[in-house]
Chain A
C-alpha cells in the first residue's frame, strides 16, 4: 500500500513539474528558436531577457503593479478576516462573499473593470489592473488569515480589553501580532499571484505597457525565441521563492502555540 502510494505521489509530482523540466533546458539553448531537444549550455537567452528594454520594462511594470496589489489585498483581506471572525450574523454569507472572486471567472472581473475604467478615464494607468488583481487575490489573504484567527484563544482580546486596552490597541498589540505569520504568508502569496496573473493584466494593459506575463504572450505570438523560456524560468523562480517563503512562514506559524 505505502510503496504504491509513494509511486503515485511521485508520478503526480513529476506531472506537476513537467513544464519546468521542459522549459528550463529550453531557456539554456543556444539555438535561435524554441526547439526540442535544445542545444544546451548557453545563458544567451537570459541575457537577452535582461538586456531587451521591452522585457525590462515589463518586469518593472509587473513589480509596479504587484506591490500595491500586495498591500491592498493584505490589508483588505486581513480586515475582512478579522471582521468575519467577530461577525455574529450572516457568517456563512459573508464568507461566501469574500471567497467569491475565487469562483467567479476572472474574465468577468476583467471585462467589468474594463468597461468601468473606460468611463472614469483610468484606462491609461496601472490602477484598473491593481484593483482587479486585488479583488482576485483578496480571498487568498482572507482564507489564510481566517485559518490563523480560528486557532486563537478567544479570551485573548477579552483579556486585553479587561486590562485596559481600547479596541484599536487590542487589535494592534494582541490580535495582529498573533496572526502575523498568516498575514505575512497571505501577503507573499498575493504578490506571487499578481506577478503571474495574466487575464486581468492582458485585458487592462495599454499598448506596449504590459506586465511580464503579457509581454511573454505577445512575444510568443510574434517570434517564438527562447527569451520566453528564460522569462518563464524567471517568473517561476520568483513564484517559487515566494511560495517557499510563504510555506516557511506558515510552518513557523503552526509551531507557535496559540
Chain B
C-alpha cells in the first residue's frame, strides 16, 4: 500500500541556519520524487522531516491525509536507505533484511520466505547467510534497498542512494532502482545532488536551493523551461543571454516575445555553420571560436559573439569531422532554434532593464556549467 505525501509550509532551523523555509511539496502515491540541490540546500533535512528524524518548527507532513506531527520514526511505516547504507555489521545479510520483520513481530517461519523474496528482488538470492562486511559497495546498496522494502512500507526514502558507488555502477543502478520502484509500486522520495540521477529516476523533480524549493516539475519541464536562473544553471550546461524587451545580443529579436530577462539555450540546441551562410529561418549570430574540446559523444565548442566579444557561449556539436576540424580563431555562424530559446523574465526589474536579478553571482551572458555534465 503506497501512500501519498503532502508537505505543507515546513520550516526548520538547525542552529542559526534556516535549513528549510516554508517548503511545500506533494508526492502522489506510487510516484518517484527527487529532491535535487547542492549541499546545504536543505534536501536532506526535508527527507529527515518526512522520516521523522527532524521535527519541523512550522508546518507538517501528512501521509495519506494522516498528520505525522509527533509520530516517531518507528511508527511511520517508511523504509529508508541511508547514504552509508547503515547495514548492521553484527548481523548477516538475511538478519539485516529480517530486522524490520522481527520488529513487527512477524513469526520466524514467515520471515524466511519474505527475506528470500526480497533478496531475489535485488538479485542477491544466494547471499543471505553472508556477513554484510564481506559485500561489495553495490551489494550493500542492494541489501539496504531490500531491507527498506521487505516490510512493504507505504513509502521509501533514499538519501543519496548511489553517491557511494563508482560511476559505472551508479549509472546502471539508476535504472535498476527506478525499475524496482516501479515494480513494487511504492512512493519514493530520493535526495540527490546529481542532476542526471534525478532526471533519470524521478517522475517529478524538486530543485532545492538555500532552504526553499526553486521549481517542481517533470524532468523535461525543468530542463527545457526553467523558471529561475538557478534551475537553468544547476540542471546541466546553459547559455544565458540578456534579453531586453525581446531583443537579444547578437541573435536579435526573439519571435513575438517582448519580455525582458535572460534567454536560456542549451548547448546542444545551438548549431554551427561556416560563413558565408544562407539565411535560415532561425536565429543566428556571428562568432569566433575560442576553444574546441573533443568529449567523445560530442565536441564542445566555446565561442565569443562578434557583437559582444565578452559574451561566451558553449555549443555542443555532434562529433563530426566539421566540428572536429574547427580551430580557435575560426569564424562561425551560430544558429539557434527559436523554440529552444526560453526566456526567464526578470523578477524584480522593471521591463527593459537588464539586471542580475536576485542571482547576483550569475552574470547574464555567461555560459554557466554546474554539476556533472554528460
Contact = CB atoms under 8 A, between A and B. Distances in A.
Interface in A122-172: 153, 155-156, 158-166, 169
A112 interface: no
Contacts of A159: 80, 82, 86, 88
Interface string A95-119: 0000000000000000000000000
A166 B72 contact: yes
A162 B54 CA distance: 13
A162 B90 contact: no
Contacts of B99: 160, 163, 165, 173
Interface string B34-71: 00000000000000000111000000000000000000
A73 to B, nearest CB: 24
A206 interface: no
A161 B86 CA distance: 12
B48 to A, nearest CB: 9
Max count, chain B CB within 10 A of own CB: residue among A160, A162, A173: A162
A257 interface: yes
A174 B75 CA distance: 18
Contact of A164 (B53, B83, B100): B100
A162 B133 contact: no
A178 B86 CA distance: 12
Contacts of A257: 89, 133
Interface string B228-271: 00000000000000000000000000000000000000000000
A177 interface: yes
Nearest to B150: A163
Given A153-B86, A156-B86, A258-B89, A162 B72 contact: no
B78 interface: yes
Nearest to A159: B86
Contacts of A177: 90
A96 B29 CA distance: 51
A164 B104 contact: yes
A158 B87 CA distance: 11
A131 B153 CA distance: 48
A163 B99 CA distance: 7
Contacts of A180: 90
**Size range of the chain B interface in the assembly:** 20 to 34
Majority SS of interface residues in chain A?
helix
B68 to A, nearest CB: 13
Contacts of A258: 89
A178 B89 contact: yes
B199 to A, nearest CB: 27
A166 B90 contact: no
B84 A163 contact: no
Nearest to A152: B89
B151 interface: yes
* Chain B CB within 10 A, most for which of A159, A169, A180, A258: A159
Contacts of B84: 153, 155
Contacts of A174: 88
A93 interface: no
B357 interface: no
A169 B103 contact: yes
B30 interface: no
B290 to A, nearest CB: 46
Contacts of B300: none
Interface centre among B77, B89, B147 (most CB of A within 10 A): B89
A169 B105 CA distance: 12
A157 B138 CA distance: 22
Contacts of A155: 82-84, 86
Interface centre among A160, A178, A257 (most CB of B within 10 A): A160
B229 to A, nearest CB: 35
Interface string B90-104: 100000000110011
A6 interface: no
A256 interface: yes
Contacts of A173: 99
A86 to B, nearest CB: 13
A104 B82 CA distance: 44
Nearest to B105: A164
B217 interface: no
A158 B88 contact: no
B74 A166 contact: yes
A163 B103 contact: yes
Nearest to B83: A155
A164 B106 CA distance: 12
With most chain A CB atoms within 10 A of its CB, the pick from B78, B79, B88, B148 is: B88
A158 B151 contact: no
Nearest to B147: A163
B20 to A, nearest CB: 19
B89 A161 contact: no
A27 B374 CA distance: 79
B44 to A, nearest CB: 12
A205 to B, nearest CB: 42
**Closest 6 interchain pairs by CB?**
A159-B86, A164-B103, A155-B86, A163-B100, A162-B80, A161-B73
Given A153-B86, A162-B51, A163-B148, 14 more contacts: A155-B83, A158-B80, A158-B82, A158-B86, A161-B73, A162-B74, A162-B79, A162-B80, A163-B100, A164-B104, A165-B103, A178-B90, A256-B89, A256-B90
30 contacts: A153-B86, A156-B86, A158-B53, A159-B82, A159-B86, A160-B88, A161-B72, A161-B73, A162-B52, A162-B74, A162-B78, A162-B79, A162-B80, A162-B148, A163-B99, A163-B100, A163-B103, A163-B148, A163-B151, A164-B74, A164-B75, A164-B104, A164-B151, A165-B99, A165-B103, A166-B72, A173-B99, A178-B90, A180-B90, A257-B133
